């Protein structure tokens, strides 16, 4: 029996939200698209491209229906793709009545922890709105929005507890320049996405401090080992399953590699500024997009403490970003830890 994925809404108009809109409209789907301000809506309707993100991507007028009316979009859709940066997610989530979530398929493109409650979106919806997790799918990469805009071959993994829904969402996105796969690991895939952003900030800090490729290769290897241990212990302690996911795949290792190395990685760019001597405040102001790893570092400290799981490299990045420790000193300590 086919699951209804006919009426699709996108919440969020940043770079990844715009990339998702491109993929879906290229695949022949109409979308309703929520923007926060009316001027952006009118610009998109008149000029047929996002005024602020991936401006090279043009849309067909009959395939996009942008609006600032969030409730109208929710009422009209059976599937919502949530692509708001985690730092601003609560501002939008608090506008949506709990009963709206229950009837929707929710696809999360958030790669961060929701501040204050320090939860993944799936856990927030379940605890705050009794949302059935069988209707939830998480998107992970490796997939930079800029490469989607250029139609360079990219890869997306869709994680959901209901295999049929995850499979059908993967089919929704698949085309000549997007290859897709799916698994059942909504918690591990989302935590891996949060951790790789933190580690990518560290990779940028190392670059800014003038460490070379040799160090970076050892650093990323250690980051993956730490991620793998966290995910294994998390599965064992928190979400036990007889069907363990394969962590040595593109959604975990591949996404970590591209986020640490790519010129498109905003987390690496943010870290590079820190390594070159920018303050955290100045680096945040300089970025015109959100570096998810910044808030993710704080959220993961709370989660690791809650579940008694150790993540020393991520903790080192947290100390630089949130406790004001010297990046140079922390990385000198990491030199010994990694050897």
Tokens (6 digits) for 225: 């080992």
The pLDDT tens digits for 161-196 are: 999 999 999 999 999 999 999 998 888 899 999 999
Work out the average pLDDT over 76-102: 88
Quote the pLDDT of residue 117: 86
The pTM of this model reads 0.93
The more confidently predicted of residues 141 and 34 is 34
| Banded model confidence at residue 1, pLDDT cuts 50, 70, 90 | very low
| Banded model confidence at residue 4, pLDDT cuts 50, 70, 90 | low
- CB crowding 210-248: b at 16 or more within 10 Å, else e: ebeeebbeebbebbbebbeebbeebbeeeeeeeeebebe
**CATH for 8-184, options being 1.10.1050.10, 3.40.50.720, 3.40.50.300, 3.40.1400.10:** 3.40.50.720
Nearest to 228 by CA among 196, 201, 200: 196
Pairing of strands 64-67, 8-11: unpaired
Match 């300590």 to its residue by tokens: 333
Work out the average pLDDT over 136-149: 92
Q: How far is residue 269's CA from residue 283's CA, in Å, rounded to a whole number?
A: 9
| Banded model confidence at residue 324, pLDDT cuts 50, 70, 90 | very high
The pLDDT tens digits for 96-109 are: 887 888 889 999 99
Q: How far is residue 22's CA from residue 58's CA, in Å, rounded to a whole number?
A: 8
Quote the pLDDT of residue 241: 56
Q: How far is residue 126's CA from residue 8's CA, in Å, rounded to a whole number?
A: 21
Q: Domain residue spans in the chain? A: 8-184, 187-338
Work out the average pLDDT over 222-248: 76
Secondary structure of residue 5 in the 3-state scheme? coil
Contact 11, 73 (CB under 8 A): yes
Work out the average pLDDT over 243-269: 85
Mean pLDDT across the chain: 90
pLDDT value at 148 more than 80: yes
Q: How far is residue 261's CA from residue 203's CA, in Å, rounded to a whole number?
A: 8
Quote the pLDDT of residue 107: 96
Contact 102, 129 (CB under 8 A): yes
pLDDT value at 306 more than 90: no
Written out in words, the top-level CATH class of the domain with range 187-338 is: mainly alpha
Distances (CA, A) of 63 to 9, 39, 170: 12, 19, 20
DSSP state of 254: I
């Amino acid at each position: 029996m086919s699951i209804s994925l006919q009426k699709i809404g996108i919440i969020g108009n940043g770079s990844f939200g715009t990339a998702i809109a491109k993929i879906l409209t290229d695949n022949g789907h109409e979308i309703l698209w929520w923007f926060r301000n009316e001027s952006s809506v009118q610009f998109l309707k008149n000029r047929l491209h996002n005024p602020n993100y991936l401006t090279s991507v043009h849309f067909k007028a009959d395939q996009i229906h942008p609006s600032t009316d969030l409730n109208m979009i929710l009422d009209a859709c059976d599937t919502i793709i949530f692509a708001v940066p985690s730092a601003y997610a609560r501002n939008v989530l608090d506008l949506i009545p709990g009963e709206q979530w229950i009837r929707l398929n929710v696809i999360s493109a958030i790669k961060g922890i929701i501040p204050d409650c320090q939860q993944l979106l799936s856990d927030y919806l379940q605890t705050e709105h009794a949302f059935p997790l069988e209707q939830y799918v998480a998107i992970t990469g490796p997939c930079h929005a800029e490469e989607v805009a250029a139609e360079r071959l990219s890869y997306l993994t869709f994680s959901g507890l209901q295999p049929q829904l995850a499979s059908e969402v993967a089919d929704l996105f698949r085309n000549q320049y997007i290859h897709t796969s799916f698994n059942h690991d909504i918690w591990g895939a989302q935590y891996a996405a949060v951790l790789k952003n933190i580690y990518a900030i560290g990779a940028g800090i190392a670059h800014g401090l003038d460490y070379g490729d040799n160090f970076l290769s050892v650093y990323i290897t250690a980051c993956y080992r730490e991620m793998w241990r966290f995910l294994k212990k998390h599965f064992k302690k928190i979400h036990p399953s007889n069907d363990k996911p394969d962590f040595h795949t593109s959604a975990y290792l591949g996404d970590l590699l591209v986020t640490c190395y790519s010129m498109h990685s905003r987390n690496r760019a943010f870290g590079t500024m820190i390594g070159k001597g920018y303050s955290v405040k100045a680096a945040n102001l300089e970025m015109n997009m959100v570096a998810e790893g910044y808030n993710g570092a704080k959220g993961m400290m709370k989660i690791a403490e809650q579940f008694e799981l150790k993540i020393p490299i991520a903790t080192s990045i947290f100390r630089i970003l949130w406790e004001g420790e010297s990046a140079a000193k922390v990385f000198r300590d990491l030199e010994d830890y990694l050897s």
